[in-house]
Amino acid sequence: MAVSPASPYAPTDPPAGGAASAGPSPGSPPAAVATATAIAAGAMAGVASRLGLTTAFDAAHLNVTTPTGGLFPALPANVVGAALAGAASAVAAAAAVPRAVVAGIVTGGAGTLTTFASWQVGVTVAMVGPGEGGAGGWAPRVATAVTALMVGVALPLASYFAGHDAGRGVLALVRRRRRRRWLRRACKVSHSRGSLAEEDPSGAGGGGRRSRCAWEGCCAWLAFVAVCMVVVGVGGLAVAGVVADVHRQTAASILFAPIGALLRWQLASRLNPCVPSFPLGTFVANLCATAAAAALTAVTTTGTSSLSAGWVLRAAVAGGGGGLSTVSSWVGELIAAESRQAAWVYGTATVGVAQAASLLIYGILWRVRQ
């Protein structure tokens, strides 16, 4: 991803999906394992948070979002995830944070908390699908879809900026407090020569780097064990069928999330450098996720489905498709583009191609299954 050096909001672009900060070499196997484990753990937390926010703002609770309206169900999660990505990028750019930690938060957590595919499929459903979006003629449907597209771009962009500024402000406050404590200690031992000569209030010394590496490795193994426990426990409950379908769908969504997030991480790390002005990996991830989500949504929500395991497909859309696609990384790449023209080309191409694919796939399957 090409980053404009003049932009203070340029997001952290981790090597191989991680973060350019303290820790082992990004190409070493331990670093790759730590990064992948952190992304998987963050993806599980991200999709769980997204499902919770979607439920909280739906018509049955706060009544803010509607499936076929301008305020689409994934909007609250996209706004929160973009703010989280902005804050994490600001902190990672100014402080020594282990690569795996930043990757888990930005690529795994915020990347999976936001979903590009659900947003695009929601726009498609508003235009051609059943229910409210299918009534009232084509003009209201197109107006609703355009509103959802504009809101879906504007609010995450504003949220990313706000999160970035908030992250910088919190980091500056923490550093100011640490500096004041260090100065008070310096005054108390001012008669002891050299007692603080080796101390660094920023904590960026060589010993600190070694301790951070050891801490990163320990956290990576703990996260790996936690991920295995979650997979075994949640997967066992889902397969055994001891809970209701809605809870099994939530559990299965959490299990699908790491698959999509890890695939997006690899696509971005391998394809984004190919075209500096156009992050090809993120583009391919969002396009593939949107196409798959459109097909699965059409199969599970239109006509009379004979599938006895429809909740598995819906979980694949929410977890796998939501993990593969991302709004937070897409917004960060728009902000960090080489020029405004490059940002317009990348943003318009992503939305236009994804929406065209979604309309084509969903429209065909919806008409066939009527």
Maximum distance among all Cα pairs of the chain, rounded to whole angstroms: 86
- The total of other beta-carbon atoms located within 10 Å of residue 235's CB is 14
| Secondary structure class of 150 (helix, strand, coil) | helix
User: pLDDT tens-digit profile of 25-57?
Assistant: 455 566 788 888 889 988 988 888 898 888 888
What is the radius of gyration, based on Cα positions, of the chain? Answer: 22
Is residue 206 predicted with pLDDT exceeding 50? no
Average pLDDT over residues 296-311: 64
At residue 279 the predicted structure's pLDDT band, cuts being 50, 70 and 90, is very high
Output the CA torsion sign for 194, 199, 201, 204.
Answer: positive
Q: Which pLDDT score, from 0 to 100, does residue 127 have?
A: 82
Torsion angle defined by CA atoms of residues 306, 307, 308 and 310, in that order, rounded to the nearest 10 degrees:
-130
Rounded Cα distance between 324 and 258, Å, is 9
193: tokens are: 């020569």
Q: Which pLDDT score, from 0 to 100, does residue 232 have?
A: 52
> Residue 318: which region, alpha, beta or left (left: phi > 0; alpha: psi -120 to 50)?
alpha
Task: Tell me the HSE value of 168 on the side-chain side, using a 13 A CA sphere.
Answer: 12
Residue, of 184 and 122, whose pLDDT is higher: 122
44: tokens are: 């599980």
Residues 6 or more apart in contact with residue 88 via CB below 8 angstroms: 12, 102, 105, 106, 110, 167
Q: Which pLDDT score, from 0 to 100, does residue 205 have?
A: 46
* pTM strictly above 0.85: no
At residue 219 the predicted structure's pLDDT band, cuts being 50, 70 and 90, is low
User: pLDDT tens-digit profile of 44-103?
Assistant: 888 888 988 888 888 888 888 888 788 899 999 999 999 999 988 888 887 677 888 888
Q: Which pLDDT score, from 0 to 100, does residue 58 have?
A: 86
Q: Which pLDDT score, from 0 to 100, does residue 369 have?
A: 63
Residue, of 306 and 358, whose pLDDT is higher: 358
Over the chain, what is the mean pLDDT? 77
Among 125-139, 246-260, 283-297, 318-332, the range scoring the smallest mean pLDDT is 125-139
Is residue 204 predicted with pLDDT exceeding 70? no
